[in-house]
Chain A
């Protein structure tokens, strides 16, 4: 795409081709809106969001989409499999786009955590801007998800360390700062993390009480 001069690119996106219909399967409203906005910015397309999982394949088929996008972590994804069958609810069977030049794109999509179903016969050059956009968007989601997990983990560790400190204060009559110093020294001596030492102490205390 980038090799094309801007004018031809405009012509291509807004020229003779009818707009693409893209179905996005996403329950989270904010995420869905973010994807829709990004796709609309990327080109001429109609985007439909489906949030409900019951009768998913049929709901999708009702829009006769060119492309279906779904989070790879979505457990309802298997409901889409019948779209790939000629006898399924769509007139034109879909495939995950893996052939030829687009196989690199498909791999990138999988790595970004997105599964794309594409109707038979859709030209790679029409698909690419859609997938590039979706991949970029999902990479942001993935980063946010990773940050959230990290925040939760840190919070959990904080709690365990606080409980371990509490146990030390009670058992040894030390101050909070001293309790933390004890934990930190034990961690350094054993080559372990403070959170791991705290966890071991809390578990052991649970067994003794």
Chain B
């Protein structure tokens, strides 16, 4: 069979795994596709690659296409998030100075309780805190802001500074930043290099946060429905494969290779298994669901997730929250997901929006196809976001 080539962009991170696995494990090939995976040097470069048609699809920060729809950032080409590539998977870490102060205060680095971590960090801070995050439009920034607002950190003087992930550990070591929020493997790389300790997984703030999406130009999605469907199905099968515990070793091995992440597989393995080493002295913590590719219809692009993102952006950038939420919701394409994922075994919930933060325990929900148990999606402060409100 002749394969159809399709250029796809990614940033070398653990959560680019669905695309890499789709390519390397034959899922793309069985859909008749040859993925031409192109590594991007930065998120803005990747956004331009999609916007200007150098790639047809990309591994994209979930916040980016929503921000673009609101006219934020340099480029406003319409993008569609056709599925969620990964849920959670980021870490918040502190430098050695803050780590020492936190330990003196008796803080145990439980890697779990965001309220307690916020209180402890506020107590440990002396003067302004500078916190590194990969991009101004990212779940990293949204989680940090949400966390600050609902803890004593709301009173602290904090600057969020953009630092490319591969430079995060060095920026921390050189004191350019005091703390960071970054996607794996870069948090673990900072721990390995002895420059930082991990305070929280992103999921401790929002238990089911859409982290990366599969983004395409909206125009392309309309022009190439067949190709899009094949790509979505190949990626979904890769996500299902990644979720099987048996796949973790093989996946870590694959991602560690040169051309992908080019880092030791035992550092990559941590995010996949949720067993993280949180300090240079070797403390281990287990965080089930640290990074999810598949469980609880993880790939379904809930419009309520996009609405939440749009509302948070609108409030910070002085836009009308209601209008922004409506514009943002349209970016997460539940319609395309339903159309292209019917009949392949993907769970299709009956609803396209849910009250974000309301699920405290795994909960069975009505579906259009398959049996679906949604995973907890609570915010650490137990507030909920009702998309219809």
Task: For B176, list chain A residues within 8 Å (CB).
Answer: 54
The reply to whether B135 and A81 form a contact with Cβ atoms under 8 Å apart is yes
Instruction: Report the bound CA distance from A95 to B74 in whole Å.
Output: 4
CA distance A29 to B135 in the complex (A): 27
Instruction: Please state if B52 and A110 are interface contacts (CB–CB under 8 Å).
Output: yes
Q: Quick check: A81 and B162 within 8 Å, CB to CB?
A: yes
- B351 at the binding interface (Cβ < 8 Å): no
Chain A: minimal CB distance from B122 (Å): 24
Contact with B along A88-101 (1 / 0, CB 8 A): 00000011101000
Tell me whether A115 and B44 are in contact (CB under 8 A).
yes
Count how many pairs of residues, one from A and one from B, have CB atoms less than 8 Å apart in the complex: 76
Provide the residues of chain B in CB contact with A76, threshold 8 Å. 42, 164, 167
List of A residues within 8 angstroms of B51 by Cβ: 98
Partner of A96, one of B48, B134, B135: B48
Asked if A48 is at the interface (CB within 8 A of a chain B CB), the reply is: no
- Stretch among A67-75, A158-166, A191-199 lining the B interface: A67-75
Residue of chain A at shortest CB distance from B134: A78
Q: What's the nearest-Cβ distance from chain B to residue A193, in Å? A: 20
- The digit string for B306-347, where 1 denotes a CB below 8 A from any CB of A, is 000000000001100000000000000000000000000000
Bound form: Cα–Cα A74–B42 in Å: 8
Q: Tell me the smallest distance from the CB of A68 to a CB of chain B, in Å.
A: 10
Query: In the complex, what residue of chain B is closest to A113 when comparing beta carbons?
Result: B45
Q: Tell me the nearest residue of chain A to B49, going by C-beta.
A: A110
Tell whether B43 is near chain A: CB-to-CB under 8 Å: yes
Contact across chains for B72 and A77 when beta carbons are under 8 A apart: no
Partner of B42, one of A77, A84, A95: A77
B373 contacts A by Cβ under 8 Å: no
The reply to whether B134 and A84 contact each other, CB–CB distance below 8 Å, is: no
**CA gap between A117 and B163 in the complex, in Å:** 19
Assess the B54–A86 pair: CB atoms within 8 A.
no
Counting CB contacts under 8 A, is B105 at the interface? Answer: no
Contact of B164 among A78, A82, A107 (CB under 8 A): A78
Contact of A94 among B72, B74, B134, B162 (CB under 8 A): B74
Min CB distance B112 to A, Å, is 30
Structural contact, B48 and A87, CB atoms closer than 8 A: no
B363 within 8 Å of A (CB atoms): no
Q: B42 touching A75 by the CB < 8 A rule?
A: yes
- Chain B nearest CB: distance from A63 CB in Å? 18
Interface size class of B (residues with CB under 8 A): 20 to 34
A115 and B45 CA atoms in complex are apart in Å by 8
Q: A106 at interface (Cβ–Cβ under 8 A)?
A: yes
User: Which residues of chain A have C-beta atoms less than 8 A from B163's C-beta?
Assistant: 79
Q: A85-B317, A106-B52 are in contact. Are A98 and B162 (CB under 8 A)?
A: no
Question: Distance in Å from the Cβ of B58 to the closest Cβ of chain A?
Answer: 14
A115 and B162 form a contact (CB under 8 A): no
Q: Which residues of B contact A96 (CB under 8 A)?
A: 48, 74-75
Q: Which of B41, B134, B136 contacts A82 (CB 8 A)?
A: B136
Q: In the complex, are the beta carbons of A84 and B73 less than 8 A apart?
A: yes
When the two chains form their complex, are residues A86 and B318 in contact, meaning their CB atoms are under 8 A apart?
yes
* Chain A proximity of B299: nearest CB distance (Å): 26
Residue of B nearest to A108 (CB): B52
A117 to B44, CA, bound (A): 12
Task: List the B side residues contacting A74 at CB < 8 Å.
Answer: 41-42
A80: Cβ under 8 A from any B Cβ: yes
CA distance A87 to B163 in the complex (A): 19
A57 at interface, CB cutoff 8 A: yes
**Nearest CB in chain B: distance from A177 CB, A:** 34
Which residues of A lie under 8 Å from residue B352 when comparing CB positions? Answer: none
Taking CB as reference atom, which chain A residue is nearest B133?
A78
Question: Residues of A contacting B44 with CB < 8 Å?
Answer: 77-78, 80-81, 115
Distance in angstroms between the alpha carbons of A53 and B161 in the assembled complex: 12
Contact with B along A104-136 (1 / 0, CB 8 A): 001100110001010000000000000000000
B74 touches A75 (CB 8 A): no
Which residue from B41, B77, B135 sits with its C-beta under 8 Å from A98?
A: B77
Q: Name B48's closest neighbour in chain A (CB-CB).
A: A110
Q: How far is the CA of A110 from the CA of B49 in the complex (A)?
A: 8
CB pair A77–B45 under 8 Å, yes or no, is yes
**A94 vs B75: C-alpha distance in the bound complex, in angstroms?**
10
Convert A19-53 into 0s and 1s, putting 1 for each residue whose CB lies closer than 8 angstroms to a CB of B. 00000000000000000000000000000000001
Enumerate the 9 nearest inter-chain pairs by beta-carbon distance, A residue then B residue, closest first. A96-B74, A77-B42, A84-B74, A78-B42, A79-B162, A75-B164, A75-B41, A110-B52, A81-B136
Which A residues contact B (CB, under 8 angstroms)? 53-54, 57, 72-82, 84-87, 94-96, 98, 106-107, 110-111, 115, 117
13 pairs, CB–CB < 8 Å, chain A vs chain B: A54-B171, A54-B176, A72-B41, A75-B41, A78-B135, A79-B163, A81-B73, A85-B72, A96-B74, A98-B51, A106-B52, A110-B48, A115-B44
